[in-house]
């Protein structure tokens, strides 16, 4: 099954990417079919599932994981991974709360600090992965523990920052021009990452790094700088997601975003991005995100227990990847 | 080309099969006729045996009242999970939501939203902000707990009365201190022949409770009753009294049945006080259903709690009633 995704298929790189730009690539079409299946099923089994309001709720609930997944797409395209983004979300949410309440700064200063924390966290990952060539899996596993530990240390594991002003809560709970406020943040992120991955030459460079880092270096691609950029972006996205999380729930605690990195990776991989790098698209990630969001939401509206979502996510992943790999070979 | 079509068909088929399987293994509600009220109830954690026990009572009440009960909540440490589930319940359109609140600030926001949509909101076990819910099912009042504990102590000390030593949580624990304050109020009037001679901390640690109880017995050799009022302190205190060989010292306290069970069965521990979790779940569904049917609760003085009889209402709190006592005879029926 994984052989289609192995770097061994490197020579096929340009064909796959130009193919992907002309029409939806295989895994994305499989996913689209699954998504249609979900929609049909839940509109029959769920109560009030197929309503505009519910669609917007799904969008609202998916924004934080969506931001992480979007920023993870270029990371995974280079054959890397960022396991620390969920923990970094928690740390930036807590820092936001601490700067606003304990240090008595304005919301703007606190928000800037939270995004700053995300960028610094991303820079640490970038420094270790791009600068020292350490394996991303190990590096970000370590920084995940570090960031979560810092968040817990900062709050003693118990402090819960809350009571944020209404103007800030609007970011997570309000609507602007008919859409949940945070959806606009997500749309901007989609545009940014889509340009990065699909329009700019950088995107082709990222795929090349994913297929063969050494080859990319010989081809004159500044591998170190490209890698640093994607990890930095992932950190920044975690910072923004931390703010959205705090605004949606109206609280910031050290355990914010627990497990979000895994949901984000699931969305990316479900969307057909190869975990070995080199192959994938932003559109796939968006489809993956929607498929997951609809599944979780639909199950609840069909009165199913929440843990079933985990089982079905697993099945979806296996089916999508299994079918995708088979079709990828033909 | 045909293989491609087959692939697509396969994917779609499997997807539908998967979701069909989801429909087959329904977990939450029991089957009730259409048009019945739907009450959605959430524990802090679905896996915790304490809440599993609450659910039994909730299912019982739902069956009795003919309402559809949805039971769902977090299974892991994701503080956003409670919010996500309540959001879905609001969209789904249930008539009442009952929540044991883990994150007060975060939940209060979404519960207010539910109220704004005309859904009746009840909190149980742990409360939200008062304006975020219609009623709180209060499992025990400090005065009620103090009275039952002193009742057991008085029975153990015998008609002549005597000295009580208390093993508490930490010396600053708010819950325990409120129970002790209520006991001090009750002693002169209701139990004049009992005196509290010592209050020692266990810091919610079984070993420390053991050590402090040994010290208590040495410092106050005339103590007739050891009262351990934090769950981990109960087995610690019971073990210390058991090892001292003092058959004339009785042990009572407040704690979970599983922690107390060995010592209750052993006979060292006379009784462990808590609330009846099944009754808590039962009453919560009763209250949620009554509210959904438009019965006002705030401002009344009594609530008809089904098999629990008439229960006291204080403001918008419905009081579950007298705390429940686990003894050698009944502890086998509880598992949490």
Over the stretch B311-327, which tens digit does the pLDDT of each residue have? 999 999 999 988 999 99
> Quick one: what percent of chain A has pLDDT higher than 70?
90
**B62 has pLDDT over 70:** yes
The mean pLDDT value for B202-227 works out to 94
pLDDT score at B249: 95
Give me the residues of B, 71-130, that contact A with CB < 8 A: 71-81, 83-85, 87-89, 91-93, 103, 105-106, 108-109
Nearest CA in chain B to A260: B78
Give me the residues of A, 221-260, that contact B with CB < 8 A: 245, 248-251, 253, 255-256, 258-259
Size of interface A-B (CB pairs under 8 A): 141
- Give per-residue pLDDT as tens, A288-323: 999 999 999 999 899 888 778 888 888 888 877 776
Which residue in A36, A315, A330 is closest to B18 by CB distance? A315
pLDDT score at A1: 37
Rounded to the nearest integer, the mean pLDDT of chain A is: 88
pLDDT score at B13: 53
Å between A152 CA and nearest CA of chain B: 14
**B283 has pLDDT over 70:** yes
* H, E, C per residue of chain B: CHHHHHHHHHHHHHHHHHHHHHHHCCCCCCCCCCCCCEEEEECCCCCCHHHHHHHHHHHHHHHHHCCEEEECCCCCCCCCHHHHHHHHHHHHCCCEEEECCCCHHHHHHHHHHHHHCCCEEEEECCCCCHHHCCEEEECCCHHHHHHHHHHHHHHHHCCCCEEEEEEECCCCCHHHHHHHHHHHHHHHHHCCCEEEEEEEECCCCHHHHHHHHHHHHHHCCCEEEEEECCCCHHHHHHHHHHHHCCCCCEEEEECCHHHHHHHHHHCCEEEEEECCHHHHHHHHHHHHHHHHCCCCCCCCCEEECHHHCEEEEECCEEECCCCEEECCCCHHHCCC
Which residue in A30, A258, A304 is closest to B28 by CB distance? A304
| CB within 8 Å: B8 and A29 | yes
The mean pLDDT value for B65-77 works out to 87
| CB within 8 Å: B91 and A30 | no
| CB within 8 Å: A330 and B4 | yes
Instruction: Give the global pTM.
Output: 0.77
Of residues B126 and A7, more confidence is placed in: B126
- Give per-residue pLDDT as tens, B251-275: 999 988 998 999 999 999 999 999 8
Which residue in A37, A48, A323 is closest to B92 by CB distance? A48
* Most B CBs within 10 Å, among A39, A251, A291, A310, to test the B interface: A251
| CB within 8 Å: B79 and A249 | yes
Å between B54 CA and nearest CA of chain A: 17
- Give per-residue pLDDT as tens, B103-133: 788 889 899 999 999 999 999 988 899 999 9
Most confident of A142-146, A156-160, A303-307, B104-108: A142-146
| CB within 8 Å: B11 and A319 | yes
**B21 has pLDDT over 90:** no
């Amino acid at each position: 099954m994984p052989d289609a995704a192995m770097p061994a298929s490197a020579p096929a790189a340009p064909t796959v990417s130009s193919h992907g730009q002309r029409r939806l690539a295989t895994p994305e079409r499989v996913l689209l079919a699954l998504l249609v299946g979900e929609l049909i099923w839940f509109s029959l089994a769920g109560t009030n599932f197929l309503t505009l309001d519910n669609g917007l709720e799904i969008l609202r609930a998916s924004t934080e994981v969506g931001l992480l997944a979007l920023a993870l797409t270029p990371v995974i395209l280079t054959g890397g991974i960022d396991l620390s983004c969920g923990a970094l979300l928690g740390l930036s949410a807590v820092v936001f709360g601490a700067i606003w309440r304990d240090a008595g700064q304005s919301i703007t200063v606190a928000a800037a600090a939270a995004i700053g924390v995300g960028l610094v966290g991303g820079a640490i990952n970038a420094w270790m992965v791009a600068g020292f060539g350490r394996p991303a899996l190990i590096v970000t596993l370590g920084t995940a523990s570090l960031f979560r530990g810092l968040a817990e240390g900062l709050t003693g594991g118990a402090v819960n920052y809350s009571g944020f002003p209404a103007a800030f809560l609007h970011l997570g709970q309000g609507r602007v021009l008919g859409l949940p406020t945070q959806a606009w943040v997500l749309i901007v992120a989609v545009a940014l990452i889509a340009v990065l991955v699909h329009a700019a030459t950088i995107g082709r460079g990222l795929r090349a790094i994913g297929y063969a880092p050494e080859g990319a270096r010989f081809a004159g691609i500044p591998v170190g700088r490209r890698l640093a950029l994607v990890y930095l972006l992932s950190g920044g996205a975690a910072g923004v997601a931390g703010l959205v999380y705090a605004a949606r729930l109206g609280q910031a605690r050290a355990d914010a975003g627990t497990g979000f990195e895994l949901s984000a990776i699931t969305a990316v991989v479900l969307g057909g991005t190869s975990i070995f790098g080199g192959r994938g698209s932003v559109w796939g990630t968006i489809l993956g995100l929607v498929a997951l969001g609809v599944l979780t939401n639909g199950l609840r509206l069909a009165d199913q227990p929440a843990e079933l979502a985990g089982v079905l996510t697993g099945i979806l992943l296996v089916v999508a990847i299994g079918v995708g790999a088979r079709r990828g070979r033909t | 080309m045909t293989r491609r079509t087959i692939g697509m068909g396969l994917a779609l088929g499997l997807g539908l099969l998967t979701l069909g399987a989801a429909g087959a293994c329904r977990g939450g509600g029991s089957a009730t006729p259409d048009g019945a009220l739907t009450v959605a109830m959430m524990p802090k954690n679905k896996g915790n045996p304490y809440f599993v026990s609450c659910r039994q009572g909730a299912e019982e009440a739902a069956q009795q009242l003919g309402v559809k009960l949805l039971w769902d909540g977090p299974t892991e440490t994701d503080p956003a999970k409670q919010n996500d589930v309540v959001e879905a319940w609001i969209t789904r359109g249930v008539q009442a939501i009952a929540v044991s609140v883990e994150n007060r600030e975060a939940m209060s926001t979404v519960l207010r939203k539910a109220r704004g949509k005309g859904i009746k909101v009840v909190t149980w076990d742990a409360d939200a902000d008062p304006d975020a819910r219609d009623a709180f099912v209060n499992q025990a009042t400090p005065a009620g707990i103090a009275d039952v504990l002193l009742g057991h102590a008085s029975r153990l000390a015998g008609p002549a009365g005597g000295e009580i030593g208390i093993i508490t949580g930490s010396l600053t624990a708010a819950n325990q201190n409120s129970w002790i304050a209520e006991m001090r109020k009750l002693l002169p009037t209701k139990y004049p022949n009992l005196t509290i001679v010592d209050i020692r901390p266990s810091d919610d640690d079984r070993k420390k409770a053991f050590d402090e109880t040994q010290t208590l017995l040495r410092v106050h050799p005339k103590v007739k009753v050891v009262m351990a009022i934090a769950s981990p302190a109960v087995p610690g205190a019971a073990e210390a009294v058991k090892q001292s060989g003092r058959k004339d010292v009785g042990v009572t306290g407040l704690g979970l049945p599983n922690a107390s069970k060995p010592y209750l069965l052993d006979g060292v521990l006379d009784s462990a006080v808590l609330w009846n979790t099944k009754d808590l779940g039962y009453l919560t569904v009763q209250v949620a259903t009554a509210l959904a049917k438009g019965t006002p609760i705030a401002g009344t003085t009594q609530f008809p709690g089904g098999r629990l009889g008439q229960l006291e209402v204080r403001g918008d709190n419905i009081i579950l009633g007298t705390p429940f006592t686990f003894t050698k005879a009944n502890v086998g029926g509880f598992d949490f």
